[in-house]
Amino acid sequence: MPRPAILPVIDWKAVFDSGLDYAAWLAAAESAEQRDKLVAQHLALSLEPAVAGYLAALPRPIHVVAIAEDWCGDVVRHAPVLQRMAEAAPMLKVRYIGREQHPQVFARFLTNGGEAIPKFIFLSDRFVECGSWGPMPEGCRELIARGKACGNVAAARKKVSARYEQDTQCREVVAELLKLVDIAASREP
């Protein structure tokens, strides 16, 4: 049997270091209208006290590479969630890159073979890849996959929109991101 292709090793520290922090990423937004939506979404979000307390007490640094561009609706919805979490966690460091900035990185994080953002790649304090998230919560990804399978993506997108409307504080996203934070912060298996 032929061996699968071996992907090149990614220097995650270099990728992380090449990214922008949230403020610089917002300042570089292609669209003032989208930037305003990102700001509004960020202002509308709050974390539950238990979540904020957990994040504030992280024992060691966690790095996140966020592949995100301001034109995308899912980025507008979810990047501010990650930022709120980073604000609560001095040890949670996030840097934003575009798809074309590191194409070899983005190619590893396609969604069902398609280009979808955001993608949040969680790295340990030693820049070891520990997991990824995106472009939307797991339940929403499943709805889109089912919509593709039955040939009715439009109906699936309506269901995703309804879920988004019901979860204005993005609690589902926070819960999924917290799992990845917990993994990246692990001191033992």
- pLDDT on residue 1: 63
- pLDDT on residue 6: 76
Question: Distance between CA atoms of 37 and 34, rounded to whole angstroms?
Answer: 5
Burial environment of residue 65 by CB neighbours within 10 A (0 to 12, 13 to 18, 19 or more): buried
Is residue 74 domain-resident?
yes
- pLDDT on residue 18: 98
Closest to 181 in 3D by CA, of 65, 76, 67, 62:
62
Is residue 62 domain-resident?
yes
- Give the up-direction half-sphere exposure of residue 144: CA atoms within 13 A in the CB hemisphere: 16
Is residue 63 domain-resident?
yes
Is residue 2 domain-resident?
no
Is residue 40 domain-resident?
yes
Show the DSSP H helices in the chain as ranges.
Answer: 12-18, 22-27, 32-44, 49-56, 73-88, 103-106, 138-150, 153-166, 171-184
Is residue 163 domain-resident?
no
Report the number of distinct structural domains present in the chain.
1
Is residue 125 domain-resident?
yes
Neighbours of 174 (CB within 10 A): 21
- pLDDT on residue 111: 87
Is residue 58 domain-resident?
yes
pLDDT tens by residue, the chain, 189 residues: 666 667 788 999 999 999 999 999 999 999 999 999 999 999 999 999 999 999 999 999 999 999 999 999 999 999 999 999 999 999 999 999 999 999 999 999 988 888 999 999 999 999 999 999 999 999 999 999 999 999 999 999 999 999 999 999 999 999 999 999 999 999 888
- pLDDT on residue 4: 67
Task: Note down the domain range covering 19.
Answer: 12-135+170-184
At which residue do the structure tokens 């590479």 appear? 65
Q: Tell me, what CATH number does 27's domain have?
A: 3.40.30.10
